Chain A
């Protein structure tokens, strides 16, 4: 076994990949694009989005719209529309979850002691229920001062506008009836994972594996181009060649893994938890990926077959392993099957680290990943030796 020769083979593999511009795009740029897009989507968790039509609604109408978008009251993101038709289209296309339309002349109607009808536009299904109660409570708060003003004016004590002004100033002074919310229980997704974290963890795992598998085509290329046979004709022992090929795959996966970890840490402030633990997960997962790649490289017959197989397996296993959709929303059966993939174990390890765990608390995950690596690398070496010396 010659370490220098093995390293030279590994180096050639890594350099060949770095020269391919398309390869660079898929390895370094695409994962970041996807992390950014998923991060933007889950940035602050799910943000309810409502559309509002409020044309010629006066001061009271503007006040209601401001309340609807206030973080203290609803936390909704409000998009304004010019017409009820535009709003209806947006609701139908699910661009907003529901629509709220204030009647024109809202302010005058209410000041004249009349009744204003606010319309809640919602798609079929249970969407309306999710918004109705909150909407009613926001409207209720405005209705409170209006009621006080209407009542006072009706008692003949003072005109409406004066009564409204007094009611508003009194509302701030009254001890009032308040609601205090306290929380209990465990969070569905830990807060640290929201934003770019969730995407960064799963894309790291998805792409390291995917890149390794598509790299299997290179191995076959070496075989069909005769590079492997020429290497065998040199005094370099076959063990060294195998180690070199494995190291090459491992190097690429590790390089990509480190890039994603550091890029997301520096650019988006993604937390990766205990550095030693994260490093171990990344290294072991890179080994798993190299093993799988070499196995495909050894058993597939041509480069097209290998890359087709690689992409399919890479995406399919990632999906089941929870690297595309958070495993929290898996149905129970899929959740069980999911644990047959190395992805699931790697993701669970990474998450555990983020929620404050150290190497000690991810011992099981590390052991399972090491197991995958040993089995895959063992199988691959055996098959590849056979394929090379055939």
Chain B
């Protein structure tokens, strides 16, 4: 039984490889698209250059405290590049030209107003495309405003509850003490690992799994083709079991899928610089991915009557699952419901497995959840496909 299956598989495989469609759909198209995508995306490791302008039109110790405190702090930490400008107009011009992402202006009279408990305002001029620079400038200004306000508020609260206004020197003394109260909430940084592949690897993997659903349908499709051409009844008439025929088709497809994926993994690693991670883990993912794709396409194909119909349905299913599975764009940016729905697709699990492999210490065990679920897809849909393929062969 196995021998005749292998002969059928070898013949199918040879036929498919000679036919250039497989070469185009299984290897050339996914590789070309992955290359195009990774070429188009600007390299992700662009250093983040945040630029903020500063104008001190106030010139009091209050405004200088901001320059030498919070602003100097982020500057020293290398987070933000600070440029000082002589006037608000100069800063406005610089923001307008995009020279800096945003500018913080401390207007004249600010310090006096803040100390007297009056209304004081810091101006932030943000470039509409300033992005994070604008955000950081706003946050820096807001942080300093909060600091000043905390002192104002502390003094005002104490006076209000004490019920009487003390003389000015005592108020100043109060403000001084208020400034020394420790900030009660601390922010502590903690870095996590990264469990996500880079853009190049993402597109190599996602295009590979997307096009795998086209490669994986050849076996069952050829069953329909053999029926149409009349070679299927002849095979059935031969002294081999129907199961051998189906097994042969399955072997052929499996071989084809593995071949295409292997070529893609190797080519994208060598030519595009994709990093697939632990080879055993990748192999497990590829094998279970190929099986899942075979199961799903077999189920769909055996529901169709003609090759055209089957090809059409498979195309629809492949594209829909691929979009839902986040192969064209990571769905984490989509609404929350979409990032849950995505887990009904084998694509999402394959890519999740790739993410698990991106951790430097990852081994084959890390992809086990993804592999098991992919195999689950393969068993359930494959069983339906096999049953229906069986009746397809035996019928007539």
Contacts and interface: CB of A to CB of B under 8 A. Distances in A.
B282 to A, nearest CB: 18
Contacts of A175: 117-120
A119 interface: yes
Given A92-B195, A152-B157, A334-B40, A308 B21 contact: yes
A390 interface: no
A325 B177 contact: no
Contacts of A152: 154, 157-158, 161
Interface centre among B29, B127, B181 (most CB of A within 10 A): B181
Q: Is the interface of A mostly helix, strand, loop or mixed?
A: helix
A4 interface: no
B152 A157 contact: no
Given A137-B146, A312-B28, A330 B153 contact: no
B136 interface: yes
Contacts of B136: 129, 133-134
Interface stretch (A176-184, A224-232, A290-298): A176-184
Contact of A143 (B48, B114, B160, B184): B184
Contacts of A93: 195-196, 332, 352, 355
A178 B121 CA distance: 5
A179 B124 contact: yes
Contact of A129 (B21, B48, B122, B323): B48
A140 B92 contact: no
B123 interface: yes
B48 A179 contact: no
Interface string A345-370: 00000000000000000000000000
Interface string B30-58: 00110011011110000110100000000
B143 A40 contact: no
A190 to B, nearest CB: 10
Interface of B: 20-21, 24-25, 28-29, 32-33, 36-37, 39-42, 47-48, 50, 74, 79, 92, 95-98, 114, 117-130, 132, 134-136, 138-150, 152-154, 156-158, 160-162, 174, 177-178, 181-196, 308, 311-312, 315-316, 319-320, 323, 328-330, 332-336, 338-339, 352, 355, 359
A312 B157 contact: no
Interface centre among A26, A124, A134, A305 (most CB of B within 10 A): A134
Nearest to A151: B154
Interface residues of A, number: 102
Given A133-B139, A157-B161, A329-B42, A115 B127 contact: no
Contacts of A99: 192
A53 interface: no
Contacts of B134: 181
Interface in A139-163: 139-152, 154-155, 157-158, 162-163
Interface string A298-322: 0000001100100110011001100
Contact of B125 (A25, A151, A177, A183): A183
Given A123-B194, A152-B161, A158-B161, 14 more contacts: A22-B311, A88-B192, A132-B189, A133-B143, A147-B184, A148-B154, A152-B154, A152-B158, A155-B174, A170-B160, A177-B144, A183-B125, A184-B92, A312-B32
Contact of B187 (A79, A139, A315): A139
A166 interface: yes
14 contacts: A30-B319, A41-B334, A96-B332, A115-B182, A124-B192, A155-B174, A158-B161, A163-B161, A166-B160, A167-B154, A177-B152, A180-B121, A185-B127, A334-B40
Interface in A98-123: 99, 110, 113-123
A144 B125 CA distance: 25
A330 B119 contact: no
B380 to A, nearest CB: 25
B130 A185 contact: yes
A33 interface: yes
A252 B328 CA distance: 26
Contacts of A144: 146, 149-150, 153
A287 B123 CA distance: 53
Across the A-B interface, the 4 shortest Cβ-Cβ residue pairs: A22-B312, A175-B119, A92-B195, A188-B129
A52 B319 CA distance: 34
Contact of A140 (B162, B183, B335): B183
A171 interface: yes
Nearest to A324: B40
Nearest to A93: B195
A341 interface: no
Contact of A115 (B128, B141, B185): B185
Interface string A52-63: 000000000000
A177 B148 contact: yes
A312 B29 CA distance: 7
B191 A123 contact: yes
